[in-house]
Amino acid sequence: MSKLTTADILDLRAYERVREDYRRAVMARKRVRRVSVEPIMTLVFESVDTVRFQIQEMARVEKIATDEGIQAELDVYNRLLPSPGELSATLFIELTSEEDLRHWLPRLVGIERAVVFEIRSPGAPTAPVKSIPEAVHAEGLTREGITPAVHYLRFIFDDAEVAGFGVGPISLAVQHPEYQASTELGEDTRVALLGDLRGQTKPLPLA
């Protein structure tokens, strides 16, 4: 996917005029791109729509009105956009109590490398496609004894794996010593992510 530029981001007044309709459309697409690996993990697969919406909302809340300020946000969030042959996801470890945080976060160190796609179509490669932590995020993981509740992941597919993804079925799994779970992708989700892999995902109109 092409990186976003300042020209892709509406100024505050223009965004306010379209925000409700745009937000509704992005949320509809985001629901398809959200995959739960229960009981406590959810991945949201990023696209131009999710990233642009995040930047627009950040600019709205922080009242960022200059090109320099928007560019600073672009520099951060553009790293989440996948290139063709890749998927990019934000992993949320969904914990609601202090007790659960203390229980799980020390046990899930290394979770950013433990998420895999299993491609089960006939003749597809049998090895899973493993998650890779986003580079800048990985550099910031300085606490060895505890993991953050949010991770930014990338999955890199070769041509045979993309072809297998196009046929399905596909499962998303977590294979960590302290957490093993798997879920099969729904057809709408598989098709949406296949668009990313093939570089064919079309962004929503904003203006």
pLDDT by residue (tens digit) across 39-80? 999 999 999 999 999 999 999 999 999 999 999 999 999 999
Would you list the DSSP string of 54-67? HHHHHHHHHT--SH
Task: Please report the pLDDT score of residue 24 as a whole number.
Answer: 97
Q: Is residue 71 part of a domain?
A: yes
Q: Is residue 205 part of a domain?
A: no
Task: Please report the pLDDT score of residue 122 as a whole number.
Answer: 84
Q: Is residue 165 part of a domain?
A: yes
Task: Please report the pLDDT score of residue 167 as a whole number.
Answer: 93
**What are 171's strand-pairing partners?**
118, 184
Q: Quick check: 139 pLDDT over 90? A: no
Q: Tokens in use for 177?
A: 């010593």
Question: CA dist 66 to 62, 71, 170, Å?
Answer: 11, 9, 43
Q: What is the Cα–Cα distance from 85 to 15, expressed in whole angstroms?
A: 32
Q: Tokens in use for 164?
A: 């297998």
Q: Is residue 88 part of a domain?
A: yes
Q: Quick check: 124 pLDDT over 80? A: no
Q: Is residue 206 part of a domain?
A: no
Q: Is residue 178 part of a domain?
A: yes
**How many structural domains does the chain have?**
1
Q: Is residue 1 part of a domain?
A: no
Q: Is residue 57 part of a domain?
A: yes
Over residues 159-185, the pLDDT tens digits come to 999 999 999 899 999 999 999 999 999
Q: Tokens in use for 9?
A: 């981001």
Q: Which residue has the tokens 């892999």?
A: 197
Query: Domain range for residue 76?
Result: 6-197
Q: Quick check: 142 pLDDT over 60? A: no
Task: Tell me what percent of the residues of the chain surpass a pLDDT of 70.
Answer: 96
How large is the angle between the packed helices 159-167 and 187-197, nearest 10 degrees?
A: 150
